[in-house]
Amino acid sequence: MSGVIVYGKPECPDYGRVREGFTEAAIDFHFIDVAADGDAAREAERLSGGVATPVVLLEDGTIAVEPDNAEIARLIHNVGQS
C-alpha cells in the first residue's frame, strides 16, 4: 500500500482536486471515505484538528487539510522527493 493516505468524501470537490492531481502525477494513494467509516472520520478529525476534509497524510508525517492547488503541487513534489 502507498504511504499516502487521503481521508475524505468521494463527492467532495476538494477531494476531486487532490485525486486528479495525484492521479496525473502517477502517485498512488489510499483513499478512506470518512462518511462510511466512523473510526476514519475520528482519525481525520484528530489529524486535522477539525472536521474539514480532505486530509492528506504523507508517509513522512506531513499533513495537509483542504489543500489548494499550490499545496497539492507541493505535496506531489514532496512525494516525488522521497
Strand pairing class (5-8; 55-57): antiparallel
Three-state secondary structure string covering 24-36: HCCCCCEEEECCC
Report pLDDT for 82.
63
Report pLDDT for 28.
94
CB-neighbour burial class of residue 67 (10 A; exposed 0-12, middle 13-18, buried 19+): buried
Give pLDDT tens digits for 3-57.
Answer: 899 999 999 999 999 999 999 999 999 999 999 999 999 999 999 999 999 999 9
Q: What is the CATH number of domain 5-81?
A: 3.40.30.10
Report pLDDT for 80.
78
* pTM score: 0.92
